[in-house]
Amino acid sequence: MLETISFSQRQRLAYIDFCLLFKGAIHRQDLINRFEVGLSAGSRDFTLYKELAPDNLIYDPREKRYFQTDSFVPVFEHDAKRTLVKLANDISDGFDAIGDVHFPVESASSLNVPDIFVVAKVVQAIVNNKAISVIYTSLSSGSGARELVPHSIVDNGQRWHVRAFDRKSQSFRDFVLTRFSKVTVKAEPEAHECIDNDKEWGRLISLEIVPHPKNIKYPTAIELDYAMEEGVLTLEVRAAMAGYLLRRWNVDCTKHASLRTGEYQLWLRNQQSLANTDNLAIAPGYVVEEELYTV
């Protein structure tokens, strides 16, 4: 039935759904004020919502508002991760009540924010399948001109990267977005420079992550933290992204779980899955362990 409803009315119904889920109640006037609709239109929206989910809300004439019932089941999907990000940053897409009230959700401050005009140029190039020329500043060689063919922008949990073919090294690499300046969109790339030839990006590897067997006294707590099933969190990740994920979550990648400091609450049980994967210098303990076994 939702598919036959207009986009604008679907927004209003999702707003009702969101308010009931996260606020527990909603006034009819809340809907009218938010979307600047008339009283009759607002009434029709509540009537339609009741048809879709009759057991989701109950009207209290004394308080003149609708309340969530004990049997409430959302009509719309509210993704937990996306919703938390939106709540923390007061970002509304029109399908929710963010901005109407301050929700008690905060996020850690970001230390680095990319230049919006640089981001725009990179996105233009990706969307239109173009190469770019940039001034890139690296830790090893300082500032210099580079020609790249970007295909994806990646959040590694700490900063933004651009995955691109680098014409200087003739390979696919990651570039820190905040180190870009003077971006110019160029002509279309050659076939070998495009995403289909980025093998590390296209290859998926399976990671089996478990509570650290030596650092954790009560593994059930960790199993709950990460929604593990039978004590294991199995993830399919791009080979190009594996190092970032393992670093971000402090996953001990040594063969015998030998990283013993407190930040290592997780261990990669199937270390062999990382074989022949690039960008693993940042995977905790992996390089050290490899060196130990190749001396």
| Mean per-residue pLDDT over the chain, rounded | 90
* Same domain for 188 and 124: yes
The size of the chain, in residues, is 295
Asked if residue 22 has pLDDT above 90, the reply is no
Quickly state the pLDDT bin for 103 (edges 50, 70, 90): low
Domain-located, residue 146: yes
* Same domain for 272 and 210: yes
d(CA 52, CA 13) in angstroms, rounded, equals: 10
* Same domain for 264 and 186: no
Domain-located, residue 20: yes
Asked if residue 234 has pLDDT above 80, the reply is yes
Domain-located, residue 267: yes
Domain-located, residue 105: no
* Same domain for 215 and 194: no
CATH label of the domain that carries residue 156: 2.30.30
Residue pair 254/272 in contact by the 8 Å Cβ criterion: no
Residue pair 281/242 in contact by the 8 Å Cβ criterion: no
Q: Are strands 180-185 and 251-252 parallel, antiparallel or unpaired?
A: unpaired
Greater confidence (157 vs 290) lies with 157
Asked if residue 159 has pLDDT above 80, the reply is yes
Asked if residue 233 has pLDDT above 60, the reply is yes
Greater confidence (280 vs 222) lies with 222
pLDDT in tens, 174-191: 999 999 999 999 999 999
Residues ≥6 apart with Cβ < 8 Å to 45? 9, 12, 13, 16, 31, 37
* Same domain for 131 and 164: yes
Which of 146, 176, 198 finishes a domain? 198
Quickly state the pLDDT bin for 293 (edges 50, 70, 90): very low
**Which of 88-92, 202-206, 273-277 shows the lowest mean pLDDT across its residues?**
88-92
Report residue 104 as tokens: 């008690």
Three-state SS for the chain is: CHHHCCHHHHHHHHHHHHHHHHCCEECHHHHHHHHCCCHHHHHHHHHHHHHHCCCCEEEECCCCEEEECCCCCCCCCCCHHHHHHHHHHCCCCCCCCECCECCCCCCCCCCCCCCHHHHHHHHHHHHCCCCEEEEEEECCCEEEEEEEEEEEEEECCCCEEEEEEECCCCEEEEEEHHHEEEEEECCCCCHHHCHHHCHHHHCEEEEEEEECCCCCCCHHHHHHHCCCECCEEEEEEEHHHHHHHHHHCCEECCCCCCCCCCCCCEEECCHHHHCCCCCCCCCCCHHHHHHHCCC
Of the ranges 62-71, 86-95, 150-159, 286-295, the best mean pLDDT one: 62-71
Between the alpha carbon of residue 118 and those of residues 139, 141, 147, the distances in Å are 20, 21, 15
d(CA 193, CA 190) in angstroms, rounded, equals: 5
Angle, alpha carbons 158-96-88 (nearest 5°): 30
Domain-located, residue 98: no
Q: Residue 140 belongs to what domain range?
A: 116-198
**Taking residues 10-31, what's their average pLDDT?**
93
Asked if residue 94 has pLDDT above 80, the reply is no
Between the alpha carbon of residue 260 and those of residues 88, 216, 252, 254, the distances in Å are 33, 10, 9, 11
Percent residues over pLDDT 90 in the chain? 74
Quickly state the pLDDT bin for 294 (edges 50, 70, 90): very low
Domain-located, residue 110: no
Output phi, psi for 81, to 5 deg.
-65, -50
The predicted pLDDT at position 289 comes to 43
pLDDT in tens, 33-66: 999 999 999 999 999 999 999 999 999 999 999 9
**Taking residues 92-103, what's their average pLDDT?**
74
Structural domains of the chain, count: 3
Domain-located, residue 108: no
Domain-located, residue 55: yes
